[in-house]
């Protein structure tokens, strides 16, 4: 077989790992290579002669928009004569979604008129898997495994960011140090699994007690820290007291059915112009211990 033989090019295209298909101006499939069959599950005889508008492959983007109806790169290439690329999800014959990277070029007659387009699409699963793995690694690097709250590293970064913004823009914010009362007694009486659950239930309650703009994470052990933005002394006190009230109303059954009740002691302070992150936390921590010595389950703010 030589390059002058028309079957030479078909053989060449069929041995490509990428999917290749040609369409006319009406997006009717004229050619479908073996790579396209491997990626989609559809044989040439199932698609040649059919139109993309039939929506057999039902291309969608990452937001789920149907590209066969709006945003089709083939349509764009036929219309403007340019090349187009897209990351899309086609529907395999068996029903699953397959991520593919699509490249489209117009097909022209000798006089330059556009008579169709060629689409080359390649399996993008490896890239998507790598992106998911990277996102998961980033998530785990900032996630406390017990409470599913941000971990100490994330809280430190967030606090430093907010503190830098405060020093420039003077947007008021505060810090709450929140400590689960009698945590050692819970562990000793019920076991560490119950202690972990107590931390998780308290974490969920604190998320509900605070606002969407606030950040609460596990600092270590039974201590959590919240960075609360756009507050004055009254709002800071209100948030601290709400945390105490709602955690005190939180309980869950132990394995033997006996209730496990909780409370937190909270110390809160507003940022001052010359504060460092360490100084802020130290001041809030001292106020938290003031709450402990005053009887636990209460808030002290300044």
By CB atoms closer than 10 A (0-12, 13-18, 19+), residue 197 is middle
H-assigned helices in the chain: 6-14, 34-40, 44-47, 73-80, 125-141, 152-169, 183-190, 192-209, 233-248, 277-293
Strand (E) or helix (H) holding 269: strand 264-270
Distance CA 82, CA 111 (A): 16
Asked whether 125 and 98 are in contact (CB, 8 A), the reply is yes
User: How do strand 251-253 and strand 29-32 relate by DSSP bridges?
Assistant: unpaired
The residue written with tokens 């970064």 in the block is 157
- Residues annotated as catalytic are 222
Closest residue by Cα to residue 175 from 229, 127, 134, 221 = 229
Closest residue by Cα to residue 190 from 247, 141, 255 = 255
DSSP 92: P
């Amino acid at each position: 077989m030589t390059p002058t033989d028309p079957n030479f090019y078909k053989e060449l295209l069929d041995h490509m790992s990428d999917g290749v298909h040609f369409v006319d101006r009406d997006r009717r499939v004229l050619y479908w290579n073996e790579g396209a069959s491997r990626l989609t599950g559809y044989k040439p005889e199932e698609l040649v002669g059919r139109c993309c508008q039939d929506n057999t492959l039902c291309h969608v983007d990452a937001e789920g928009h149907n590209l066969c109806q709006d945003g089709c790169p083939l349509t764009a290439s036929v219309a403007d004569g340019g090349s187009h690329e897209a990351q899309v999800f086609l529907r395999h014959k068996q029903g699953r979604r397959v991520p593919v990277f699509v490249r489209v070029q117009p097909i022209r007659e000798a006089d330059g008129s556009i008579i169709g387009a060629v689409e080359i699409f390649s399996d993008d699963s490896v890239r998507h898997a790598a992106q998911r793995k990277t996102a998961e690694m980033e998530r785990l690097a900032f996630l406390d495994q017990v409470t599913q709250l941000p971990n100490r590293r994330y809280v430190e970064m967030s606090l430093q960011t907010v503190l830098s913004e405060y020093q420039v823009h003077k947007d008021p914010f505060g810090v709450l140090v929140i400590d689960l009362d009698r945590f050692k007694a819970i562990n000793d009486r019920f076991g560490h699994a119950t202690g972990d659950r107590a931390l998780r239930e308290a974490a969920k309650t604190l998320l509900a007690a605070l606002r969407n703009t606030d950040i609460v994470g596990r600092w270590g052990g039974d201590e959590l820290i919240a960075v609360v933005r756009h507050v004055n002394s009254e709002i800071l006190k209100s948030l601290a007291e709400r945390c105490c009230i709602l955690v005190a109303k939180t309980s869950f059954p132990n394995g033997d059915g006996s209730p496990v009740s909780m409370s937190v002691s909270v110390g809160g302070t507003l940022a001052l112009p010359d504060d460092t992150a360490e100084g802020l936390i130290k001041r809030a921590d001292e106020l938290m211990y003031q709450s402990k010595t005053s009887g636990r389950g209460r808030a002290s703010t300044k």
